A and B are shown apart, each in its own frame.
Chain A
């Protein structure tokens, strides 16, 4: 089986789906001839032509709005917002239009579309190329929010997102586009090819939306993570020799609460991890749900490991990033009694 990095896997998902469904149209900034700043759409214009893959003006509001019009017409837009940090000019269209269209028209108009966008830090992108704004979308009724953490999942989830009848905001952890990241930025990057999830089948397959993956089974505690932080968490528990159960949420909305509940009831302890700022982050929702469902099974308070409630500072990137040190401290607290 061929191995792929996450970019190749995402590119392959586009190719598989565009070949199967001629109503799929891909557009965004720099995604046409050039193939995107991260190369995810490389070769699509050559293969599928300019009317199905084209560059868009630097207007995220316009990109999302025209996608709404296209979905209303009956074709399927798969759009790229070049960085998640750039998505805000399109936010009104996403929140007020994309998310609510099925509801406000009682199903007369639906908005099956995928809004792909690279998110997260660790690439020295500074404040405007490092953000993790997922909670601004998990809060909006009508959107599904998906975040893969491996090439295999990236392809399968993107295909599932394209086939989904509802709009999906698809966050791509750009720090791990080219290889899993253990949180130690001073160590050489490991390529995906050494990771089993880089084995990506050819052709069509899906990874279901709304289903988490237990990526490491364990009995000591449950770690809830997604995107880049899945790999950081795995590396830390290996380093510390903790028998953690690590759950990769993969989909934030709809959330696979059954898998979370089952695990926390088994381990009695829980750590929630994300790169986004702490206050009102998705972790707050996870902590609330865990205490609602598992309170009498908990042996310690649920802890959060997150980015700070500051903008993402360029030179202080690694002081901001919730890396192994922050996670180790939190683990010690969760495991204390």
Chain B
């Protein structure tokens, strides 16, 4: 090397690549004492028509409503009636039981795959409660709570999970990739973040047609790294689209902690600042905070005051999916030590604290939810489970590629059917 080699410049430090590492790995004792959790009720609530910049202090704090004494406090308290609270609690309990049953069904070999949302139940359930029934969701795979809260039949969900004879998607989609137009639930994609700008497009269409319905797009912390996140934010900002863009930050994208998506430097909510749209950061384990944030953003969108990016701060209490074992990359007790608690417990203790609930009623409700899920499962399994599928009606796999079956697919269908006769 000559001394003209720029690599040998004197006094220049050797360049270093920074690869983020989570604070705790298997074997470590998680210590979340450095995580600053603002007091419930501390966050100010700007008017829904306020300039976006008025929300920016909220992108680094946390909207929290349920306080230490389990009461709802502060400007963000949505002041919900007890029936609404009990409905949310029931939906969340149903989601958790549903997840447990379907997880077990996967382990029993009844299907190939399942994804739980344990610890995140409040987010989808409270968001569903805060929006109008006609509003449109573009979900990820961890918003089963939207369907359950909107009253989508549990049997239908299970039929899809089992790819059985009742599966309206005809066995074409991976389990949990639900789709239901009537329940305002867009088809889930396995290609992450694709739905985020699609939600913006739907909202733009609603604005083009002078509709009053709005859209809500969902993405996880990991997939905010996709270009589609940026497209969604850009289009939402440029066209002032009536859309709520939600980032569920559950800290983990399979084995990669949120730092691999950029969370070491800024919150996900702070990304709103660069696009000039409103941004909120809410405690995702506090159903009332989730409700209040979504309601705020919905009012803003519905009044043509623009889109909002909301970060729901939460923790993925279980593995990414049935194909994942988190003990390989994070301490197994991390979920238990997560300082924001369990969303179901928190809503339940709130209802107890305000005298609208008791342990007996809770036990009875949970038992009811459990028998509903079991009954649905029994019903669904009558229509078959995955290992029995894929043999009958092979010809159907050539339908719906196009509106009509073109000649080349018709030929291939004949070929496939004749294989079945060999």
Spell out A's residues near B (CB within 8 Å).
25, 51-52, 56-57, 59, 61-62, 65-70, 72-75, 89, 92-93, 96-97, 101-110, 141-142, 144, 165-166, 210, 253-255, 257
Given the known interface contacts A166-B402, A255-B408, the answer about A104 and B234 at a Cβ–Cβ threshold of 8 Å is: no
Among A61, A70, A108, point to the contact of B181 (Cβ < 8 A).
Answer: A108
Can you name the residue of chain A whose Cβ is closest to the Cβ of B210? A51
Q: Does B112 contact A (CB under 8 A)?
A: no
B208 adjacent to A75 (CB under 8 Å): yes
B187 adjacent to A109 (CB under 8 Å): yes
A69 adjacent to B204 (CB under 8 Å): yes
A105 adjacent to B179 (CB under 8 Å): yes
Can you name the residue of chain A whose Cβ is closest to the Cβ of B177? A104
Bound state CA distance, A56 and B200, in angstroms?
13
- CB-based closest 4 A-B pairs: A69-B201, A66-B201, A62-B231, A65-B197
For chain B, residues 200 to 241, give those with C-beta under 8 angstroms from any C-beta of chain A.
200-209, 215, 227-228, 230-232, 234-235, 238
For chain B, residues 386 to 407, give those with C-beta under 8 angstroms from any C-beta of chain A.
400-403, 406-407
Q: What's the least CB distance linking A67 to chain B, in Å?
A: 6
Question: Which residues from chain A contact B403 at a C-beta distance below 8 Å?
Answer: 102, 110, 165-166
Bound state CA distance, A106 and B172, in angstroms?
8
Q: Does B194 contact A (CB under 8 A)?
A: yes
Question: Which residues from chain A contact B256 at a C-beta distance below 8 Å?
Answer: none
Q: Does B49 contact A (CB under 8 A)?
A: no
Bound state CA distance, A254 and B406, in angstroms?
7
Other A-B pairs beyond A106-B170, A166-B403, 8, CB < 8 Å: A59-B235, A61-B227, A65-B194, A66-B200, A69-B204, A72-B202, A104-B179, A142-B401
Q: Does B267 contact A (CB under 8 A)?
A: no
Bound state CA distance, A123 and B399, in angstroms?
41
Question: Which residues from chain B contact A101 at a C-beta distance below 8 Å?
Answer: 187
On chain B, which size bracket covers the interface? 35 or more
Q: What's the least CB distance linking B110 to chain A, in Å?
A: 22
Among B194, B208, B231, B400, point to the contact of A97 (Cβ < 8 A).
Answer: B194
Q: What are some 27 contacts across the A-B interface (CB < 8 A)?
A: A51-B207, A57-B231, A62-B197, A62-B235, A65-B231, A66-B200, A70-B201, A72-B186, A72-B201, A73-B209, A75-B208, A93-B197, A102-B400, A102-B401, A102-B402, A104-B173, A104-B177, A105-B169, A105-B179, A108-B168, A108-B180, A108-B187, A141-B401, A165-B403, A166-B403, A253-B406, A254-B406
Most buried by A among B136, B173, B186, B208: B208
Question: Which residues from chain A contact B401 at a C-beta distance below 8 Å?
Answer: 102-103, 141-142
Given the known interface contacts A59-B235, A92-B191, A105-B179, the answer about A73 and B400 at a Cβ–Cβ threshold of 8 Å is: no
Given the known interface contacts A97-B194, A142-B402, A166-B402, the answer about A104 and B169 at a Cβ–Cβ threshold of 8 Å is: yes
Q: Does B255 contact A (CB under 8 A)?
A: no
Given the known interface contacts A92-B191, A166-B402, the answer about A57 and B235 at a Cβ–Cβ threshold of 8 Å is: yes
Question: Which residues from chain A contact B194 at a C-beta distance below 8 Å?
Answer: 65, 68, 92-93, 96-97
A104 adjacent to B202 (CB under 8 Å): no
Q: Does B199 contact A (CB under 8 A)?
A: yes
Can you name the residue of chain B whose Cβ is closest to the Cβ of A258? B407
Q: What's the least CB distance linking A310 to chain B, in Å?
A: 28
Bound state CA distance, A165 and B407, in angstroms?
17
Question: Which residues from chain B contact A61 at a C-beta distance below 8 Å?
Answer: 197, 227-228, 231
Q: Does B321 contact A (CB under 8 A)?
A: no
Bound state CA distance, A108 and B179, in angstroms?
8
B187 adjacent to A75 (CB under 8 Å): no
